[in-house]
Structure 1
């Protein structure tokens, strides 16, 4: 039986309202994480997680939700919103990644974009990383390194997401390991 109201790949996390951080252990690699709810990754590109009832920061003008199971409360006018159901699993398809990343880059020209998933580690890293590659801000390895430096070392701990991002621009063959974050700037 398939219940679309529950994410079968969800992990247990808790929000510490005193520090506005998400704390838990990843499903991929069992890495501990303690991250801000949102982080600035590049100009007008923010990435993060979500819990029901969190208020969307007022500076965010475009929202990309990759985790429709929990939503931000929006108390201000936003220019655009996109809601896409993505799973943090090896079986997740990549067909929509380029289109979403290109849309993120188009929105970044007019204001801050928040790309969020459950915690802001895998799904949102895939889209944010690809957006940086498509915009020419980073090569794939530099994008991975920058995400890990600015958000968390646990970013792209889903090996299929990391391999797709690293191998996408290079074609066939095994991807190179992530490079230094300085390569992205």
Structure 2
């Protein structure tokens, strides 16, 4: 997405349409996984944060986790560390965290979303709820989701 910040998935389709696995070794200093499967890495010794979230509406604590992961990723990028944010296919959940990371690094939400769609895929961030979280602001979305939990 930008120097030192990568977005990906655990699976990808090859040129023949056959699904391939993406296994991470030691290519990155920090791997953030929003979906995990055994055998997909990263290697021992690589910082690995796991916060499995659904590809759908998020609860307040899940939105808070997205915020914290984005802050951590942005700090790592500022410190010249390479970061991979990944989910199942590298479109929505990882797109949400990477977009929020870009926002933490100074981008406005519309530019962050456009950058992800340009550099990853036009289908990235096709979850409209996630796009609304970003354009509304995760702080506001967190507060609103917390109100729903109290109802």
**Which TM-score band applies after superposition, normalised by the shorter structure?**
0.7 to 0.9
2:83 is aligned with 1:113: yes
1:54-94 alpha-carbon deviations (Å, 9 max, x no partner) = 3315431110000024552334642x110111110124541
What is the TM-score when the length of structure 1 is the normalising length?
Answer: 0.63
Aligned residue number for residue 46 of structure 1: 6
Return closer, same or farther for 1:42/1:159 CA change in 2, 3 Å cut-off.
same
Specify whether residues 71 and 165 from structure 1 end up closer, same or farther in structure 2 by C-alpha distance, changes over 3 A only: farther
Contact 2:70 2:104 in 1 (8 A): yes
Higher RCO (Cα < 8 Å, 6 or more apart): 2
Write out aligned runs for 1:129-140 (5 A): 129-136=99-106, 138-140=107-109
Alpha-carbon spacing, 1:70–1:48, altered in 2? closer, same or farther (3 Å): farther
Gap change, CA 1:170 and 1:97, over 3 Å in 2: closer
Aligned Cα root-mean-square deviation (Å): 2.4
| Distance in 1 (alpha carbons) for counterparts of 2:123 and 2:38 | 21
Shift of the 76–69 alpha-carbon distance from structure 1 to 2, 3 Å rule, reads closer
Which runs of structure 2 are paired with 1:97-108 in the superposition (5 Å)? 97-108=66-77
Query: What SS does the aligned partner of 2:7 have?
Result: strand
Task: Pick closer, same or farther for the CA change 1:53–1:147 going to 2, 3 Å.
Answer: closer
Q: Which residue of 2 aligns with 1:60?
A: 28
User: Contact 2:31–2:42 at 8 Å: present in 1 too?
Assistant: no
Aligned-partner SS, 2:68: helix
Q: How many Å apart are 1:140 and its aligned residue? A: 0.2
SS at the partner of 1:125? helix
The structure carrying a bigger helix percent of its residues is 2
SS in 2 for 1:42: coil
Aligned pair partner of 2:118 in 143, 149, 171: 149
Q: By how many angstroms is 1:105 displaced? A: 1.0
Structure 1 runs not aligned, ≥5 long: 1-40, 173-185
Q: Count residues in correspondence.
A: 130
